[in-house]
Amino acid sequence: MLVVVSDTHSHEESKLQGRTAAAVREADLVVHVGDFYREPVLDAFESAARSLRGVYGNNDDAAIRDRLPEVRTVEYAGVRFAVTHRHRSGDTGLVMLGRGRDADAVVCGHSHRPRFDDSGGLPILNPGSHAQPRGNRPAHAELEPAAEGSGAEHDPDAATALDGRLVTPEGEVFETFRIEP
């Protein structure tokens, strides 16, 4: 399972609770889309996750910016993601970033609003904020290889669709989606 979190905004701890904490511990890969805030929070995520890939956000301190890139490409189950905290040109800029990185989807944060939008030519996933939702529903995203018709049963290295869901720390799934490679 791939878990995506963002916008923790903490000084010392990960603020992981409930289903979000369990998902981060269980995941094969965790992607944090920036705004850890302070370096001990990045350290806490690295301790909690088996494997962590992150980018820095606009509120991250210099120590985090020294350790993480602003943009990175992450691959999971043959699906390629362009990952960045935000893009000044909005969704159009995010789609262009994804295309420039030959990505199947873009993952971003910053707004604290969980959403999945595949209407703009390249899917955009924002997991929202698990810790500081700012009037939005607190959330993270969970993605797993699609079980049916994926071809993965014949070739484990083959790209497969990912079934995703936006989930609250209480475990409520409030949106499901699919990303095709």
* Backbone phi and psi for residue 25, each to the nearest 5 degrees, phi listed first: -70, -35
d(CA 52, CA 83): 13
What's residue 150's pLDDT? 43
The 8-class DSSP code of residue 20 comes to: H
Residue by residue, pLDDT tens for the chain (181 residues) are: 999 999 999 999 999 999 999 999 999 999 999 999 999 999 999 999 999 999 999 999 999 999 999 999 999 999 999 999 998 899 999 999 999 999 999 999 999 999 999 998 899 999 999 999 999 999 999 999 998 654 445 455 567 899 999 999 999 999 999 999 9
Superfamily in which the 2-179 domain is placed by CATH:
Metallo-dependent phosphatases (3.60.21.10)
Q: What is the value of pTM for the model shown?
A: 0.94
What's residue 67's pLDDT? 98
- Neighbour-count burial for 85-95, b at 16+ CB within 10 Å, e otherwise: bbbeeebeebb
What's residue 160's pLDDT? 86
Q: Could you count the other beta carbons within 10 Å of the beta carbon of residue 109?
A: 28
Nearest C-alpha neighbor of 22 from the set 176, 172, 171? 171
Domain residue ranges of the chain, discontinuous segments joined by +: 2-179
Radius of gyration of the chain (CA): 15
d(CA 134, CA 143): 24
Report in angstroms the alpha-carbon separations of 90 from 111, 114, 116, 137: 11, 15, 14, 21
What's residue 164's pLDDT? 98
* Cα four-point dihedral sign 130, 79, 30, 142: positive
